[in-house]
Amino acid sequence: MALALPPCAHASPEQDALLFLDSRVLPQKAAACSARIAGYSGRFDPAFRAWLTRNKERVASGEAFLRADAERTKVPFEPDVQAVALGISQQWTSAPLPTLQDNCEALLIQLKESEPG
């Protein structure tokens, strides 16, 4: 779970990179939730859009940081990010329903707790 930073905190490139990864992984987690929990996407979609809007600049910064690191280390960027998202999605998809329900509720709380104020 990502930590919410106060607005005055100075984010590091690494923290922004984690937000970028969240921007790719959270929809995968939500897809696993929506497949087994009725009405979940209707709760996730607006919360995620608001989270993405609040973190747009940091997500972009994190993506740039990871792309530069991938170029420097000669590691393909997109396949690496997709592999992380797929692995997490498979874990959530195969989770027992009570565990999935807990994880899905925690995901919504995470998105809302990162709201300013």
For helices 40-54 and 97-113, the axis angle rounded to 10 degrees is 30
Residue 1 covered by a domain: no
pTM, two decimal places: 0.82
Terminal CA-CA length for the chain: 19
**Domain count along the chain:** 1
In order along its 117 residues, the chain shows pLDDT tens digits of 444 444 445 579 999 999 999 999 999 999 999 999 999 999 999 999 999 999 999 999 999 999 999 999 998 888 888 888 889 989 999 999 999 999 999 999 999 987 665
Tokens found for residue 92: 């959530």
Residue 17 covered by a domain: no
Select from 55, 73, 71 the least CA-distant residue to 15. 55
In which domain, by residue range, is 82 found?
Answer: 23-113
Residue 6 covered by a domain: no
